[in-house]
Amino acid sequence: METLTAMTDEQLVCDYSDGNNTAFDILLDRHKQSVYRYIYFTVRNRELAEDIFQETFIKAIVTIKQGRYTEAGKFRAWISRIAHNLIIDYFRQEKNENTVSNDEAPIDLLNNSSLCDGTIEDELIWTQITSDVRKLITFLPDNQRKVLEMRYYQDRSFKEIADLTNVSINTALGRMRYAILNIRRMAEENHIALTM
């Protein structure tokens, strides 16, 4: 593992395309914060940002596995471009449906959570959201619940999850995506807010 963390992005991509799923987990850990921040700053909606973030890395997995990755030395720029294109696709679709927002207000410096450590109210809301999510997880199908718990509560990589559940990494990723979609659906049906 230590040798993998010392590798460049390009070496990790090669290792992953050769079947080493841990290499992709390191790439994900290395770039997830910057990619998510970029997406969230652009769309300014946590749920949408999470969806686009997941789609970004799933698209990267598919592209690499199909041998179509050709951006030697530019993984970070490439993954950011995938995110950017998915954001554009989303807003294009929204515009076509005539539901795009015209709210182009400048950054609100007084209510920008990224510029402060949060408030007691934020902490209480977050505690309630966490409690609600834990309750919703109990209603998921077993295979989705196990993947979600291993990823978020046991901090396991998708490679480890795939090995422990005897499925491919793509199946583990798919189960995670369905788990998240099902939690959102149940939250909507029960009028539970999952964002602050």
The pLDDT tens digits for 13-64 are 989 888 898 998 999 999 999 899 888 888 888 999 999 999 999 999 888 8
Taking the C-alpha atoms of residue 46 and residue 138, their distance in angstroms, rounded to an integer, is 23
Of the chain, the percentage scoring pLDDT greater than 90 comes to 9
In CATH, what number is assigned to the domain containing residue 80?
A: 1.10.1740.10
Give the pLDDT score at 53: 92
Q: What is the pLDDT of residue 106?
A: 54
* Domain termination site, one of 43, 69, 101: 101
Q: What percent of the chain has pLDDT over 70?
A: 81
111 lies in some domain: no
Helices (H) and strands (E) in the chain, counts: 9, 0
| CA atoms of 65 and 90, how far apart (whole Å) | 25
Q: Does 107 map to a domain? A: no
Do the domain assignments include residue 179?
yes
CATH of the domain at 136: 1.10.10.10
Does 57 fall in a domain? Answer: yes
Give the separation between CA 117 and CA 111, rounded to whole angstroms: 12
Of 72 and 80, the one with more pLDDT: 80
91 in the same domain as 177: no
Does residue 93 share a domain with residue 2? Answer: yes
- On whether both 7 and 88 belong to a single domain, the answer is yes
Query: How much is the pLDDT for 190?
Result: 76
Does one domain contain both 120 and 194?
A: yes
Task: Provide the 3-class DSSP secondary structure of residue 196.
Answer: coil
Shared-domain flag, residues 46 and 130: no
Same domain for 97 and 128, yes or no, is no
Spatial separation of the C-alpha atoms in residues 60 and 79, rounded to whole Å: 7
Split at pLDDT 50, 70, 90, the class of 102 is very low
Which of 101, 126, 158 is the last residue before a domain boundary?
101
The Cα–Cα gap between 86 and 57 comes to 11
CB 61 within 8 A of CB 23: no
Can you tell me the mean pLDDT for 83-89? 88
Same domain, 72 and 10: yes
124 and 94 both lie in a single domain: no
Q: Is 32 exposed, middle or buried (0-12, 13-18, 19+ CB in 10 A)?
A: middle
Mean pLDDT for all residues in the chain: 80
Q: In terms of residue numbers, what domain contains 11?
A: 1-101
Domain count, the chain: 2
Within-domain flag for 26: yes
Q: What is the pLDDT of residue 71?
A: 74
Q: Do 12 and 64 reside in the same domain of the chain?
A: yes
- Look at residue 2 and tell me whether its pLDDT is greater than 80: no
65 and 126 housed in the same domain: no
The pLDDT confidence band at residue 100, using thresholds 50, 70 and 90, is very low
Using DSSP's 3-state secondary structure scheme, residue 140 falls into coil
pTM of the shown model: 0.49
What integer pLDDT is reported at residue 110 of this predicted model? 47
Within this chain, do residues 157 and 83 fall inside the same structural domain, yes or no?
no
φ, ψ of residue 100 to 5 degrees: the values are -70, 140
Domain assignment present for residue 29? The answer is yes
Q: What is the pLDDT of residue 107?
A: 54
- In this structure, the answer to whether residues 73 and 142 fall within a common structural domain is no
- Residue 164 contacts residue 174 (beta carbons within 8 Å): no
